[in-house]
Amino acid sequence: MKGIRKRLLAVLFAFCMVLPLFAACGKETGEYDESGNVRLDIANLYLNDLGDAYTGYVEDKFSVRISPKVYSWADWDSQVTSAVNGDNIPDVFHWNLESMVYPTLERWAKGGSLRAIPDDMSAYPNIKKVLDSATAIDKMKVDGKLYCIPLMYDINKPEMGYSSFTYVYRKDWAKALAEKNPSEYGDLYKEDDVYTFSEFERLLAAFDKEDMAGSNKTIPLADVEWAFPSVINYFKDAPHAYVLNEQTGKFEWNYTTANFTQGLEKAKSFVEKGYYWADSYAANEGDAMNKYKSGVVGCYFDNFTLTNYSELRKSFSSSNPSVDLDEGTALMRLKRDDGKFVYEEANNWWSATLFSADISDVQMNKYFEIMDWLLSEEGTMFATYGFEGTDYTVKEDGSIELHWSKTADGEYANKLIGAKYLRYSICLNQDITSNDPLIDDGTKAAHAAWIADIEKQIEDNQVKLLPLYSDMNWLSLPNKNANANLVNLASDAIIKYVFGDGGWSEFNESNRSKYEAVVNEINTALGL
């Protein structure tokens, strides 16, 4: 393989030595290394310790040398922003694009920091498929040009239109309560995991009263840090700052509506009753999940992609070996009091890959070639399992026989397939996680059953989808742009309020002029 690679490189190198005589060879400096490979700087959240054989194979296959840069979750946005402001942008980079930050994308594009994607992507059919099926794709364009590729959750399932948020809970605790005191708790054990909000509240009270973790360590309820306080979801009508009033037909400030206020007061009461984890106020990223893993939390809210769910189960199992794993990490199906399950409507992508204005034609096309291959059937198999014949074989019946190393316990050991992390640059790999050998069948089955239930609930019109309001959220308007941080300020104020440290009405009053200006602007722009 390597001999062929060197010959190809020699030819490519010789070609590039001649090319500048006839035409500009793209970016003036640094486009090729001394061996004639195309240099490519890629920065994203997911790149791992590249240098593995799988990244090496991709590099050889495409005559490219990839310099990875890994963003950290904690300061991802500031790393990207400072790179753009400092004109020090990697060739390809990853940014938390969402509707609220569209004005920034617009400013960067118009300011000449970004390079647009070619209008015709037919040479890269797998990428084209992503672009053709990504929701809100037209809304992220600037002056008719697309400057990013959204990272789709599952390229084979573009119709997915909801976020996978819910609670995992200690079904084993619920069962123990029901067995201990059938008259009081008998109805709190649910074989099908379906709870009304009232039952949910009683369950939290029971976990607390009976101190299910023992030694007064029980935490009935905890949320992933960014979602606190999640219980409001089961009352409010829109996910963020603005909600469409069905009666007036106009947008209004969501945070002062009756339903939101009811949810907020419920959250506050859960804090006061001691249901919510007291340290939620100052928790760091991952703290709440770690509490659940340790076995002291009754219900825990998060975005349960298969990967997240698997991670939680593995750690929980390790810390709580005597607990039945399916019962210790059951996925709750929780209804609002109006009888509807509730989920947030969502795009079929999250975040996006962007390109420096300085990226050359050669580099950009090379990136597209690599990603198009990684999305192909061959590339997908490679990113999932590794080298055919070495890491896996396909049996006559089409099933996969894996040859990965196993630990002393007989489990497959982690395998760092860098190609998988490169693939994250263009999609979120949910199409391949269901085949991930490191996720056990029990986890896959439990998660698949829950997803199937959600889709059935949606089909049966049993779901309240908190609307995405794409038409409104992607608007770029002066007041809306200037006050984009209101939603963050509101989140901080909510946390303070539910912990008794700040006035909620004071917050709303002090920001009234701002949100009213935004709301008026939105309604005018939309002709409402």
Partner 1 sequence: MKKLVCVFLAVLTAAMLFGCSAKTEEGTVRFEQVVNENVQGLGVEWDAYEHPDVITDEKWERATAYMDKLSPAYIRCVINLDWVVTNWNKGASEDVSDDTWEYNWEQSSIRNMFKILDHCQKSGIRVGLGVWRPVDGWDMQDSSDVRFAKIMADIAEELIVSRGYSCIFGLFLTNEPNYLPGNDFQKWSTGVKNTAAELAARGLSDKVSIIGPDATSYSAAITWCEDTVKNVKEHIGNYSIHMYVSDYSVDSGRFAEDIRDVVNTIEKEDKDFDKKGLIIWESGLLDGKDPEWDTNVLIDTFGFGVRMADYTMQAIMGGASGVSFWEFDDAMHFLENGQMKQYGMFSSLGTAAQQELRPWFQSSYLLTRLFAPQSKVYGCSLNSEKDTTLRALASVSSDGKTGGYCVVNRGYEEAEETFYLPQKVQGEKLYVYIFGEKDMKLGADGFIVPNYELDGSLNGTLTLKIPAGSAVFVTNTKY
Task: Please select the residue that binds partner 1; options are 229, 263, 386, 437, rule is CB under 8 A.
Answer: 386
Coil/strand/helix, residue 397: coil
CA angle in degrees (0–180, nearest 5) for 440-444-450: 150
CA angle in degrees (0–180, nearest 5) for 12-13-16: 85
Minimum Å gap between C-beta 399 and partner 1 is 20
Report the residue number, 287 or 455, with the smaller CB distance to partner 1. 287
3-state helix, strand, coil in the chain (%, to 5): 45, 15, 35
Report the residue number, 72 or 461, with the smaller CB distance to partner 1. 72
Report the residue number, 35 or 510, with the smaller CB distance to partner 1. 35
In sequence order, what are the residues at sequence separation of 6 or more whose Cβ sits closer than 8 angstroms to the Cβ of residue 28? none
Minimum Å gap between C-beta 115 and partner 1 is 24
- What whole-number distance in Å separates Cα of residue 417 and Cα of residue 427? 16
Helix (H) or strand (E) holding 364: helix 361-375
In sequence order, what are the residues at sequence separation of 6 or more whose Cβ sits closer than 8 angstroms to the Cβ of residue 278? 271
- What whole-number distance in Å separates Cα of residue 223 and Cα of residue 267? 12
Core vs surface per residue 24-57: b (16+ CB within 10 A) or e: ebbbeeebbeeebbbbbbbbbbbbbebebbbbeb
| DSSP-derived pairing of the beta strands 349-355 and 148-152 | antiparallel
- What whole-number distance in Å separates Cα of residue 489 and Cα of residue 30? 43
> Is residue 318 at the binding interface for partner 1, with CB under 8 A as the rule?
no
Minimum Å gap between C-beta 52 and partner 1 is 4
Report the residue number, 406 or 456, with the smaller CB distance to partner 1. 406
Report the residue number, 263 or 437, with the smaller CB distance to partner 1. 437
Minimum Å gap between C-beta 33 and partner 1 is 7
Minimum Å gap between C-beta 413 and partner 1 is 4
Nearest CA-CA partner of 148 in 401, 295, 347: 347
Nearest CA-CA partner of 145 in 114, 183, 177: 114
> Is residue 408 at the binding interface for partner 1, with CB under 8 A as the rule?
yes
Binding segment toward partner 1, per CB under 8 A, in 185-193, 387-395, 471-479, 509-517: 387-395
> What is the chain's Cα-based Rg?
25
Task: Please select the residue that binds partner 1; options are 13, 46, 56, 161, rule is CB under 8 A.
Answer: 56
Cβ(462)–Cβ(165) below 8 Å: no
- What whole-number distance in Å separates Cα of residue 270 and Cα of residue 229? 10
Coil/strand/helix, residue 527: coil
Cα distances (Å, whole numbers) of residue 415 to 388, 434, 438, 440: 14, 16, 9, 15
Longest dimension (CA), the chain: 88
> Is residue 402 at the binding interface for partner 1, with CB under 8 A as the rule?
no
Minimum Å gap between C-beta 199 and partner 1 is 35
Provide the phi-psi class of 56: left if phi over 0, else alpha when psi is between -120 and 50, else beta.
alpha
> Is residue 38 at the binding interface for partner 1, with CB under 8 A as the rule?
no
Cβ(335)–Cβ(341) below 8 Å: yes
Task: Please select the residue that binds partner 1; options are 172, 391, 431, 521, rule is CB under 8 A.
Answer: 391
Task: Please select the residue that binds partner 1; options are 40, 42, 43, 50, rule is CB under 8 A.
Answer: 50
Minimum Å gap between C-beta 408 and partner 1 is 5
Tokens standing for residue 115:
């390079």
Task: Please select the residue that binds partner 1; options are 8, 53, 458, 517, rule is CB under 8 A.
Answer: 53
Task: Please select the residue that binds partner 1; options are 54, 153, 316, 424, rule is CB under 8 A.
Answer: 54
Report the residue number, 390 or 485, with the smaller CB distance to partner 1. 390
Binding segment toward partner 1, per CB under 8 A, in 53-61, 211-219, 233-241, 488-496: 53-61
> Is residue 513 at the binding interface for partner 1, with CB under 8 A as the rule?
no
Task: Please select the residue that binds partner 1; options are 20, 30, 51, 249, rule is CB under 8 A.
Answer: 51
Minimum Å gap between C-beta 369 and partner 1 is 19
> Is residue 29 at the binding interface for partner 1, with CB under 8 A as the rule?
no
Minimum Å gap between C-beta 415 and partner 1 is 5
Strands of 227-329 (E only): list them.
Answer: 242-245, 250-253, 297-303
- Find the binding residues for partner 1 in span 59-98 (CB under 8 A): 59, 65-67
Total residues contacting partner 1 (rule CB under 8 A)?
A: 30
Task: Please select the residue that binds partner 1; options are 12, 16, 45, 52, rule is CB under 8 A.
Answer: 52
Binding track, positions 346-385, relative to partner 1; x by CB under 8 A: ----------------------------------------
Minimum Å gap between C-beta 49 and partner 1 is 7
Task: Please select the residue that binds partner 1; options are 17, 413, 448, 452, rule is CB under 8 A.
Answer: 413
Report the residue number, 133 or 307, with the smaller CB distance to partner 1. 307
Which residues of this chain interact with partner 1, rule CB under 8 A?
A: 1-2, 33-34, 48-54, 56, 59, 65-67, 386-387, 390-391, 404-408, 411, 413-416
